[in-house]
Amino acid sequence: MEKDIGKISKNDTSDIIIRIDDFGGKRGLTIREFVTSDRYTGFTKAGVRIQATDFAKFKEMINSISEAEMNESPQEEPAKEKKDLPDY
């Protein structure tokens, strides 16, 4: 069973496809990149699969992100301390 949930355009030749499918006899949510070009049209290796047993946790994590957090401007990460390495 495959059921496409939706598609998000990544660029002129790539989309992100979200679908429910069965892989190896196990149901899950697959999020994969789909490309359309002269050389190749189809899914790439880029993507992730969430097992049905982990879907509730995944949904909880996604729903915990607020719209405000997504609209915040990125902050610089603090500079990492350089550790002195021994001379060999």
Which percentage of the chain shows pLDDT scores above 90?
67
- Highest mean pLDDT among 49-53, 71-75, 76-80 belongs to 49-53
For the chain, the domain total comes to: 1
Long-range contacts at 43-48 (CB < 8 A, ≥ 24 apart): 43/17
- The encoded tokens of residue 72 equal 């915040």
Contact, 43 vs 56, CB < 8 A? no
Q: Quick check: is 69 in a domain?
A: no
| Alpha carbons 45 and 66: distance in angstroms, whole number | 29
Q: Quick check: is 78 in a domain?
A: no
| Alpha carbons 15 and 27: distance in angstroms, whole number | 22
Q: Quick check: is 25 in a domain?
A: yes
Strands 2-9, 14-23: parallel, antiparallel or unpaired by DSSP?
antiparallel
Q: Quick check: is 44 in a domain?
A: yes
Q: Quick check: is 37 in a domain?
A: yes
Q: CATH number of the domain that 51 lies in?
A: 2.30.31.10
Which percentage of the chain shows pLDDT scores above 70?
86
Q: Quick check: is 51 in a domain?
A: yes
Q: What is the pLDDT of residue 46?
A: 85
pLDDT tens track for 7-33: 999 999 999 999 999 988 899 999 999
State yes or no: pLDDT of 48 exceeds 90.
yes
